[in-house]
């Protein structure tokens, strides 16, 4: 059995229900929101631990964009190539407002996705994968960048929120 076979065997609706996926994803999003909140306003979009790395504010906007892209793809079953050229505002309040609105949308719209859609293979700009794998990628990407946020907060002398309190 190949790694791809194992992944498709493991990622079945019987092991991860859409309700569980939503609850897990929103738990990660709540924690990431607290990391965003922990940054001082003047450091969220300016501080980087090791240039040319991005600021955590820029990474958080990426997380927002990937989650929005994934939500819209799951709901509409349309997966166009995303346009990442638009630069969002470098304001903490704008980021948190957009984050909160997307959280509400996810709560309202993800339950409308037909469960079978999660297993359908999709040709995306980064490769062909199931819709569930795409959602899990969005979560993994968030965890990865949130970890960078933890390092940045510690470098600023700020205690990050406990990772286990989601």
Q: Which of 143, 135, 134 is nearest to 31 (CA)?
A: 143
28 assigned ligand-binding residue:
no
Helix axes 56-76, 18-38, angle to 10 degrees: 160
CB 90 within 8 A of CB 57: yes
d(CA 36, CA 34): 5
Q: Which helix (H) or strand (E) holds 154?
A: helix 131-155
Residue numbers belonging to the annotated binding site for a divalent metal cation: 145
Specify binding-site residues: 145
């Amino acid at each position: 059995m190949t790694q791809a076979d194992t992944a498709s065997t493991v990622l079945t609706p019987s092991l991860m229900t859409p309700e569980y996926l939503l609850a897990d994803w929103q738990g990660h999003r709540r924690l990431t929101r607290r990391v965003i909140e922990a940054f001082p306003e003047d450091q969220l979009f300016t501080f980087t631990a090791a240039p040319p790395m991005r600021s955590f504010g820029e990474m958080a906007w990426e997380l927002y964009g990937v989650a929005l892209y994934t939500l819209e793809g799951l709901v509409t079953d349309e997966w166009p190539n995303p346009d990442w050229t638009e630069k969002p505002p470098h304001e903490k309040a704008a980021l948190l407002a957009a984050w909160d609105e997307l959280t509400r949308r996810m709560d309202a719209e993800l339950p409308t996705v037909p469960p079978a859609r999660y297993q359908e293979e999709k040709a995306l700009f980064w490769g062909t994968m199931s819709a569930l794998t795409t959602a899990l990628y969005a979560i993994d990407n968030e965890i990865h960048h949130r970890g960078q946020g933890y390092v940045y907060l510690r470098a600023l002398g700020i205690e990050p929120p406990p990772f286990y309190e989601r």
